[in-house]
Each structure stands twice: as C-alpha cells, then as structure tokens.
Structure 1
Amino acid sequence: MYEEFAQVYDELMNEIDYSKWSDYIQRIFFNSKKEIKSVLEFGCGTGNITCHLAQKGFELTAVDLSEAMLTVADEKVDRMGLKNVQFYLGDMSNFQINQTYDAVISCCDSVNYLPDMEALQSFFYSSYECLESQGMLLFDINTVTKYKKTIMDNTYVYDLEDIYCVWENEPHFSENAMHFNLTIFEKNADQTYNRYEENQIQYFYNIEDIHRCLTSIGFKNIKYYDFGTFLQGSNEGERVQVVAEKR
C-alpha cells in the first residue's frame, strides 16, 4: 500500500509545518491530568510528527498500515539518531499490543480514512484499551464544511524539481466520501519519468457522530478545539482537534 507514494509524500506535503503541529500536541499534553511520557501514534506515515515528538523526549510507538511509509519513517529516525521510537505495521481500527500508554494520538486527518462508523468505533475502542487510566486520546479530522467549501472538486498541479503531480478531488457527497486521484510523474537520473497513480478516499464525520462513539466506549472530558487553538471547534470550521480522557 502506498508503495510509490511513500517516496514522494514528503515533497508533496512540504507546506505542512510539522514542528508547529507537534508543538500544538505538546501544549495539549500539558493540560493532561497525567504526565505524558509514552505515546502511541496511529497513522504515523513517514514519521514527521513522530520525529518531532521524539526529539522533545517522548517515548514513541508509531503504527501505520503502509510498510512503504514505515520504511521511509524508519530511515528518517536512523538518520536523526533517535533511539526512543518503535515502529509497527498495523491497522488503527483493530491494533492490539501488550502495553499501555499515557497518550494515543492520530494526526493529519488519518481518522478520515476510516470507512464507516463501525471502523471509527473500533479505532476508539483500540485506543481506549491501549491507554493508561486518565490517559489522553488526541486526533484531528477534516470537517464536512472543509470538504464541501474548500476541497470540493478542485484540481491541483505540483510542479517540483523531480516530481510532477496532478491531484484531482472527486466528491461523492451521497456517500459522505471524497476521492483523491493522483497522477504522479517522477524523474529518473537519465531524465526519463516513471508514471504511476495513487487513489485515496476520505470519509466525513461530524462532531455528533464522534461524541456518541467516544462516550459509548467510556471516554470522558471530551473537548473539540478549532485546530491549532484552544477555542471551541465546530462542524463549521475546517479542522477539529478532538481530545478525550480515559476513565
């Protein structure tokens, strides 16, 4: 999964400020009743936030469904000389491990890739089981408003030094889904190009759905922030940061 995409992911996403994102997560950790030392990260991708948090001294266990993404992440950790990171290949909706953590996180709208309410609830259950008492669950979601008013059916072209990518958004609002269709050309050393396609789907969830699932599992003190702030978030914003506590 994501075999070729993993190699170009960081270049296509280079506008994301992962340092600022990890600082925001750390500020949320400061509000925890429990001191956060150990962190389980679902959907770690190529390990950008993983590395920033590890540099801050947290013990990271990072999980992703893509072996190719984990290979890139592991190489990044080795280059940086980080010793406080472990990687696992696994599915965030049914992951099990014989260990508990002070916090479980999932960043960069990874939760939007869960295909239905059953998978969403399974992810919350897996997270709950992996948390210490009073441990914290953090994740962010793209809202329906963002899909309908910002992402829409736009097409984007990335013309980078060694990569040319056409990114087409294809909304399926009746299915509460957004399809992303990427055609990528990657330049070789001999100036020829490899062409491949990447297709992904994200699904829409609103705060009411999320709240119902979290409370049914036993999470408490659930907060919804306008992403990047500590102001009240809503379905009318573009990204919501969710914070919940295990009983």
Structure 2
Amino acid sequence: MSYERFAYIYDHLMQDVDYDGWLDFVNRQSETYAAEGKDILDIACGTGELSLRLAGNGYSVTGIDLSEDMLVMAQQKAQERNIMLSLFQQDMSRLELQREYGLITIFCDSLNYLGKEEDVIHTFRGVYNHLKKDGLFMFDVHSLYKVSQIFMNQTFTHTDDAVSYIWDCFPGEVPNSVEHELTFFVADEKTGLYERVEELHKQRTYPVLQLTEWLAKEGFEVLDISADFTEQPPSDDSERLFFTCRKK
C-alpha cells in the first residue's frame, strides 16, 4: 500500500480526534507553568495534524515519527499550507537530535505503543536530555480503566462509503496490555472495489505511580496530572491521563 493510501486511512479514521483539545492543553499548560519559549518537539507527530496547529499558533515545531510514510504526508500538508515544519524519522526511545527544546510533547497515547518498560524509561531519559533547563514535558496515556474495561475483549465497527473497519481487542502478553486486530475495507475511487488491509497494533499502559516514579528518577518534577482534556484530576473511570512535567 502506498503512503498516500495508508495516510488517507489514518487521517480518515482520526478525523474526529480532538487535535484542538491537545492544542488547547499545550497552550494552557505553557501559560500556567511559564514555558521556556515556543520551540517545541512533537514526538510521534504522525501526519502532522497537531504539529500544523502548533505552528499556526506561533510555535517553532520539530516533529519526529517512526513512520516515514506519515512524515511524507506531514511534509506534504505543511508545503500545501506554506507552514515550516522540521521533520525527522526517529524512534522515540532512541531520541537523538542536536538541540534542546523548551517544550516536548507525546500525545495521542503514542507512548502506549512502547511495549517494554525499558523503552518507556529510555524515552523519558531522551526527552530530559533534549529539554532546556526548566523545560516542560507533556504527554498522555491510556488509563488502566480504559485498557481493562473499555478495550478488553471488545469489538468495534465502523462503516461508510470510503473506509469501513472491524476492530477486535484482545488481552496482550504482559499485564495492562491490549492487542488491536484491525481489518480495513478501503474503497478504490476509480474501480469502486474495496481493498482489504489488516493491521495488528499492540499497546501497554502503566499505573500512575509507576510512571511518576520513572519520571522522578530521570529528573522530572511532575507538575500536574489531569484527565480527558479537562483540568480535573483522574477518577476511577477516566480514560486518558495527561501529565505535565518540568525538567529540574
């Protein structure tokens, strides 16, 4: 499948995702905790939807992603909108750039794609090393509740003329993990036929206490933990947890 086709599926399925909510979160936390400038590293930037919004709000944006296909689409969007993005293909757990940033973000539960504890720790360490002194690190993760009560052993479906899918969720191999088996049916505009595409996505999350311990060990001060795009602390049925941290 070409990158245009893959990115089309991704953007189509993510069209209702609250990118503006992440932008508002960054703006709010940056003001509340006095961010060190407006230079930002957007880790796991995907096809660039949040990166472009950040750039449109006056941030100087660098984006990294593991997928070359995603980055090609992000660059194409930036060129079409005459927006400057610096984009690099990198693994977040092996971050290696030649500069520091006042802000670093990892959103859209991208951190949950790291299946090993050491990869999460290495990511936190890499973020710390690429932040300016007193710089802010913001990220979100799935809650334990979402993995165990919403995803586990569930099937989700979606149908429209362009893209339909069947999404089955199964327990992963390690605690607090889930495997997403996705089957897409993508319409070909020329022939009207549907192409079948199958993908397997694995995610793992961790208790809040475990994440805060790792962050503290790597030198971060956890400033705030909130839930579900609100300013409220997490509850037992919160689904998405937001962390705001400062490099000490």
TM range (shorter): over 0.9
Output the CA distance in 2 between the equivalents of 1:69 and 1:199: 17
Is 1:198 the counterpart of 2:199 in the alignment?
A: yes
Structure-2 change in CA distance of 1:57 and 1:87 (3 Å): same
Give distance in 2, aligned partners of 1:110 and 1:221.
19
- What amino acid maps onto 1:225 in structure 2? S
The separation in 2 between residues aligned to 1:218 and 1:53, in whole angstroms, is: 26
Spell out the pairing of 1:89-168 with structure 2 (5 A cutoff).
89-168=89-168
SS of equivalent to 1:93 = helix
Structure-1 residue corresponding to 2:217 = 216
Partner amino acid, structure 2, of 1:222: L
Deviation at 1:173, TM superposition (A): 7.1
Instruction: Write the letter of the residue equivalent to 2:66.
Output: L
Figure out how many residues of one structure are paired with residues of the other and give that number. Answer: 246
- State whether structure 2 residue 229 is matched by structure 1 residue 239: no
Task: Assess, with a 3 A threshold, how the Cα gap between structure 1 residues 235 and 99 changes in structure 2: closer, same or farther.
Answer: farther
Q: Which amino acid aligns with 1:170?
A: F
Q: Is the 8 A contact 1:33 1:134 kept in 2?
A: no
Q: What's the TM-score once normalised by structure 1's chain length? A: 0.93
Judging changes above 3 Å, is the alpha-carbon distance between structure 1 residues 70 and 127 closer, same or farther for their aligned structure 2 residues? same
Identical-pair percentage: 29
Partner of 1:14: 15
Backbone CA RMSD of aligned residues: 1.8
Alignment check: 8 A CA contact 1:5 1:198 kept:
no
Contact residue 36 and residue 103 of structure 2 kept, 8 A: no
Structure 2 unaligned runs (5+)? none
1:214 to 1:174, Cα distance in 2 relative to 1, 3 A: closer
1:236, distance to aligned residue in structure 2 (A): 4.5
Q: Which runs of 5+ in 1 are unaligned?
A: none
Q: If the length of structure 2 is used for normalisation, what is the TM-score?
A: 0.93
